[in-house]
């Protein structure tokens, strides 16, 4: 969020090529800064582990030589790149909604679909995919070897609380946002109802809360 405003300013002043070149060059500057300024921890330790380049290359050959390693990499590559490219790069024209007034409801619809699908997963008796949450550790102090299906069910139910909270915030801020548009930009809400996207002129002093 903090980077959005300066990047938008650069795009307006310099254009895409120079703005993105300048933004990417910051990565190089950051790398040099880390090499020059960041030091090892001052706390005592047994000493750094010495890894020889030949041994590292041998380990890489061993790992890469396992077909399971390559299978995992290509599985993630094939199943994830399309969604990433669409959402982050060239999918923007397809994501501009024809119904700007109802975008919040579309978001809520997506959340409802996710919640329903997760509910189906958690109600099944077969093992379910999941990520580890603190709820899980509280239920089973014994650690990962003690987890069972019921523990994962409890842990993954935490999502529903976040979904509920998030939907409530969407509805709350949707109402406030529409009220502010009516107050500061007369006719904008009515245009959105007709399917005409509202191009915000920018957030000035009077747009703040």
Question: Is the sign of the CA dihedral 61, 46, 34, 1 positive or negative?
Answer: positive
Please report where in the chains the tokens 């399917």 appear, as a residue: 195
pLDDT value at residue 93: 65
How crowded is residue 192: how many other Cβ atoms within 10 Å of its Cβ? 19
Domain boundaries, the chain: 56-96, 97-209
Structure tokens at 23: 């933004």
CA distances to 6, 33, 46, 56, 63 from 49, in Å: 42, 24, 9, 12, 20
How crowded is residue 152: how many other Cβ atoms within 10 Å of its Cβ? 22
Task: Report the Cα 46 to chain-centroid distance in Å.
Answer: 38
Q: Considering the entire predicted model, what is its pTM?
A: 0.46
What residue ranges of the chain have pLDDT lower than 50? 128-129, 131-134, 136, 208-209
């Amino acid at each position: 969020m903090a980077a959005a405003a300066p990047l938008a300013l650069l795009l307006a002043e310099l254009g895409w090529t120079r703005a993105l070149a300048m933004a990417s060059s910051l990565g190089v500057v950051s790398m040099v800064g880390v090499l020059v300024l960041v030091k090892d921890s001052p706390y005592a330790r047994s000493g750094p582990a010495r890894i020889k380049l030949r041994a590292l290359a041998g380990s890489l050959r061993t790992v890469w030589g396992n077909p399971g390693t390559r299978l995992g990499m290509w599985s993630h590559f094939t199943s994830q790149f399309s969604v990433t490219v669409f959402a982050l790069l060239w999918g923007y024209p397809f994501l501009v909604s024809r119904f700007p007034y109802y975008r919040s409801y579309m978001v809520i619809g997506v959340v409802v679909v996710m919640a329903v699908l997760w509910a189906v997963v958690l109600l099944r008796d077969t093992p379910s995919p999941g990520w580890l949450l603190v709820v899980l550790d509280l239920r089973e102090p014994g650690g990962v070897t003690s987890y069972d299906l019921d523990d994962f069910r409890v842990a993954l139910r935490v999502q529903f609380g976040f979904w509920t909270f998030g939907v409530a915030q969407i509805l709350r801020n949707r109402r406030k946002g529409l009220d502010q548009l009516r107050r500061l930009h007369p006719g904008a809400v009515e245009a959105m109802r007709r399917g005409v996207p509202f191009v915000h002129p920018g957030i000035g002093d009077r747009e703040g809360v």
